[in-house]
Each structure stands twice: as C-alpha cells, then as structure tokens.
C-alpha cells in the first residue's frame, strides 16, 4: 500500500508540471459535505449548466447517473443531485461517490462499458450487492482538468476511477445529444472545444461546521475516533484547525 501511495504522489506531481493554476488551488471535497457536480461544458448544446443526477429504479433512467437541470434546493427532488465523496478506509486517495437521496448506496466505480456507451450504475440501499466496487473514484488534477473557477470560486476537476484509468476512456463525462445527455465515459483528447469531462463542486447551502462542543460528544467504546483533514487525508495527531472526526466537520482550537 505504501508503494501505491508513493506512485500516486509521483503521478500527480508529473501531471502538475507546468500548471497555470497550481494543483493546490483545487480543494478536495470535504468528506461529510454534499456537492452538486455541475458540468463545465461551455459549448452550444443542452449540456450547459447541467449536473449529475441519480435516477432511481422507477425512473426513465433506472439506477443510472444522468445529466439534468439543477433543481431548487427547497425541493426534496434536489437530493438526487447532491453527492459526497467518502475516503476509503484503506487509501484516502480513493473515494466512494454517494448520493444524498440514497446515502447508504454508492456509485459502482466500474462503468457498464469502457466506451461512450458506458453508464454509471448506482447501487441503492435496497440492494444487497458487494461493495467491492465502491472505493475507486479519483480526482484528476492535471493542467487542463482542475483548478478553481474564477467566476464562482468553486473547485473543479475531472473524476476518474481505477478501472477507467486503465482503459482508453478515462473520465466521467457529460455526454452530448448522441448520448441523450447521459453521464457516460469519455477521454480528454477529443474535446468538442469544451470541458464536458470536468465538474465544478458546488457545495449545498447550510452544510456548516460543528461547534467545538460537539467534538467530544464522545464516541462509544466500540467506535474509535477517526480523523481526516479537509483533503481527505488521515490525521493521527490533529492540532488546531478544521477536521473530519467520525464523519463530522469539527473546529479544533
């Protein structure tokens, strides 16, 4: 595991050479916060401004991720458009992608095909599937695929998986009219003069930080304290600052 982590650090470092915007500008999503993932597509078709949505089994796109127009956050339906990224307990550089509307489920990190017909399947809480394909999502911080949007202030990056990185098609993508605007799999080198493979992480309003008095609402004896920084890295000796402790955002002073 140590060698794999070192390889990832080297791989990220190579990708970051020559960045106009430093890799540090991209802020990884906080593990306990919900984000709307909005395509940065800047072309001329209906993809503009659409986001990733989970469509449940009784919908027009059963158990799939598809693009959709953002829904007002006062409506319950908006929960299908908000996501959080849970770090793997074995490797904090790998994540599970979880929908607010079905928080006990996850996106299968292997698409249905390794070509544009590939679709991303959501394993809902009602299903009893193995979580072997849960923790495989990766944030790609290459020169063209990540940074901070100067207009909104939102971090953005491409989203990939271990499975898709091993194929010719690398990235989760907002597909065009030929794909009926599905969320599919695609590769950066064919650009359509747009950014359909990069997504802005727009945080949900009201997802705040717990107060210091919440920190030591102590876990039970059988629940050890687990702490991460805001980049999703495990921290064994936290000092001052904001951390994710047992799934809650905590300010330590």
Mean pLDDT of all residues in 215-242: 62
Residue pLDDT, tens place only, 85-122: 999 999 999 999 999 999 999 999 999 999 999 999 99
Count of positions (residues) in the chain: 253
Domains of the chain from N-terminus onward: 2-203 (2.80.10.50), 212-252 (no CATH)
Neighbours of 77 (CB within 10 A): 12
Nearest CA among 134, 122, 96 for reference residue 247: 96
Give the separation between CA 162 and CA 164, rounded to whole angstroms: 6
The pTM of the full predicted model, rounded to 2 decimals, is 0.72
Task: Say how many CA atoms lie within 13 Å of 195 toward its Cβ.
Answer: 21
In this predicted structure, what is the pLDDT of residue 252? Answer: 65
Task: Dump pLDDT digits (tens) for 174-228.
Answer: 999 999 999 999 887 766 667 888 999 999 976 544 433 333 334 444 556 777 7
**Number of Cβ within a 10 Å radius of residue 54:** 28
What is the percentage of the chain residues whose pLDDT exceeds 70?
A: 74
Structure tokens at 21: 């915007």
* Between 58 and 14, the higher pLDDT residue: 58
Q: Which of 199, 203, 170, 162 is nearest to 186 (CA)?
A: 170
Tokens of 129: 């599937």
Strand order in the sheet with 248-252: 227-228, 241-245, 248-252
CA–CA gap between residue 10 and residue 93 (Å, rounded): 13
Instruction: Enumerate long-range contacts of 59-63, CB under 8 Å, 24 or more apart.
Output: 61/182, 63/121, 63/122, 63/123, 63/124
Q: Other C-beta atoms within 10 Å of 96: how many?
A: 20
Task: Yes or no: say if 174 and 196 are a contact pair by the CB < 8 Å rule.
Answer: yes
- From the number of C-beta atoms within 10 Å of its C-beta (0-12, 13-18, 19+), residue 36 rates as buried
Q: Are 28 and 84 in contact (CB under 8 A)?
A: no
């Amino acid at each position: 595991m140590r060698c794999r982590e070192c390889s990832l650090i080297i791989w990220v470092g190579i990708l970051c050479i020559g960045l106009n915007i430093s890799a540090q500008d991209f802020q990884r999503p906080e593990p306990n916060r919900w984000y709307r993932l909005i395509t940065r597509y800047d072309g001329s078709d209906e993809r503009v401004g659409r986001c990733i949505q989970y469509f449940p089994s009784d919908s027009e796109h059963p158990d799939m991720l598809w693009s959709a127009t953002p829904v007002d956050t006062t409506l319950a339906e908006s929960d299908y458009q908000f996501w959080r990224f849970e770090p793997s307990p074995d490797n904090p550089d790998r994540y599970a992608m979880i929908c607010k509307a079905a928080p006990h489920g996850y996106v299968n990190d292997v698409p249905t095909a390794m070509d544009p017909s590939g679709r991303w399947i959501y394993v809902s809480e009602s299903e009893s599937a193995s979580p072997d394909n849960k923790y495989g999502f990766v944030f790609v911080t290459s020169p063209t695929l990540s940074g901070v949007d100067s207009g909104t202030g939102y971090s953005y990056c491409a989203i990939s998986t271990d499975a898709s990185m091993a194929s010719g098609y690398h990235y989760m993508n907002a597909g065009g009219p030929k794909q009926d605007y599905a969320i599919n799999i695609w590769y950066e080198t064919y650009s359509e003069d747009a950014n359909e493979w990069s997504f802005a992480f727009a945080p949900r309003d009201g997802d705040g930080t717990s107060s210091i008095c919440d920190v030591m609402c102590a876990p039970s004896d059988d629940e050890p304290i687990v702490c991460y920084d805001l980049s999703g890295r495990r921290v064994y000796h936290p000092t001052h600052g904001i951390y994710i402790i047992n799934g809650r955002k905590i300010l330590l002073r």
